[in-house]
A and B are shown apart, each in its own frame.
Chain A
């Protein structure tokens, strides 16, 4: 496992502070979407389908920082849209690093090479490059030929310059466990710090509605893909979340774990479902009917969801909430056996 110690320590002390304060609900990762524009239109993405005047808009850096302060989460993930198309991305990242927030800048890496000069390597900044598999699978997932071949040299360059680089892969029905294992080898060869994997969520607005994974297929796919993981594979996520994807752990969703802020406000209830917006983070936390979400709720929209933004928060909370969870996490981390 490859989450750096300083980051682990920050998250651990943050969780313990929440426990001591007896906070029932608290955020882990702020999903900050400063824009919806993207230079790709992926088949499984339901995030960018908006009229032109919305796609042209950007959140101001001031509004982004106010949201970060309001939320208080120790990690800020910047998805979008494509954040490297955000005109003030360098300024935003610099301000977040100054505030000692761990930043995951999620990018398809098309613009990464030309924009690298805007950034300074830091333990607080990681480029999280969207890679859905080897060349053929990735280009098919992003609906454009040649994107894999643009991303790979960009990753190499970023690694060479001393940046933290991770990958994030979204998997859909039809993914081959064998090809994914080859992909993990390839990413490790590129020198990335770690990889993140998650099943895709069945966005109702995504163009391709036929390839989202059902829960049983998710277990099957991840169990095969992650069976006897190679020692050299490093994952930048909770090992218990990976065990959950493999069907070895049962968790309930923590929909408030990764709250989302964008130009519409604070998205209810989570990063994936779009059921309305609150004007403040406090309003989001206090007025969202949380009991209506997660598998136990019986909500159809949550039935097959096993996505990291709902379940990784649960896994991390479990690690720091009980001795059993902590021992299990340490055991898996030390042995590398999932």
Chain B
């Protein structure tokens, strides 16, 4: 199941750290919502919780970066970009191959009912 389109409701049942984990695992752009209300569209490629202050790292929509933003400046992450790991092109390839196979099988197994016509 893809998280594409999800706007998390950060609160008692879902912490910001949990949302960041989902965002880190997400292979699409997100909208990063800062505590001051500003929003940045970008790809979150890392989060670091090892040091004294946890932070995320991202490239913005134009590919500039990497930028760092501490958890204390972050309010939410919205999953607004296309999920590139949803496997759509692969499914299209599979469907085409299945169709071709079925067509080939049909050509072999369904004989011409009027072989001597014409």
Q: Which residues of A contact B (CB under 8 A)?
A: 41, 43, 46, 49-51, 53-54, 56-57, 140, 143-144, 205, 207-208, 264-265, 276-277, 287
Per the bound structure, the CA–CA distance linking A207 and B28 in Å amounts to 15
Known interface pairs A50-B27, A208-B87, A287-B50; 12 further A-B residue pairs with C-beta atoms within 8 A, sorted by A's residue number: A43-B93, A49-B84, A53-B62, A53-B63, A54-B59, A57-B59, A143-B93, A144-B93, A264-B46, A264-B57, A276-B24, A276-B46
Shortest Cβ distance from A9 into chain B, in angstroms?
A: 38
Contact (Cβ within 8 A) A205 B90: no
Known: A41-B89, A56-B63. A51 touches B46 (CB 8 A): no
Q: Which residues of B contact A (CB under 8 A)?
A: 24, 27-29, 43, 45-48, 50, 57, 59-63, 66, 81-82, 84-85, 87, 89-91, 93, 97
Known: A43-B90, A57-B63, A143-B90. A50 touches B43 (CB 8 A): yes
Q: List 30 A-B contacts (CB under 8 A).
A: A41-B89, A41-B90, A49-B27, A50-B84, A51-B28, A51-B43, A51-B84, A53-B29, A53-B43, A53-B59, A53-B61, A53-B62, A53-B63, A54-B59, A54-B63, A56-B63, A57-B59, A140-B97, A143-B89, A205-B85, A207-B85, A207-B87, A207-B89, A207-B91, A208-B87, A264-B45, A264-B57, A265-B46, A276-B24, A277-B45
Per the bound structure, the CA–CA distance linking A208 and B86 in Å amounts to 10
Chain A residues lying within 8 Å of B87, measured Cβ to Cβ, are 207-208
Contact (Cβ within 8 A) A277 B57: yes
Chain B residues lying within 8 Å of A49, measured Cβ to Cβ, are 27, 84-85
Chain A residues lying within 8 Å of B46, measured Cβ to Cβ, are 264-265, 276-277
Shortest Cβ distance from A230 into chain B, in angstroms?
A: 32
Closest-by-CB residue of A relative to B66 is: A264
Per the bound structure, the CA–CA distance linking A205 and B63 in Å amounts to 21
Chain B residues lying within 8 Å of A207, measured Cβ to Cβ, are 85, 87, 89-91
Chain B residues lying within 8 Å of A54, measured Cβ to Cβ, are 43, 45, 59, 63
Chain A residues lying within 8 Å of B47, measured Cβ to Cβ, are 276
Chain B residues lying within 8 Å of A53, measured Cβ to Cβ, are 29, 43, 59-63
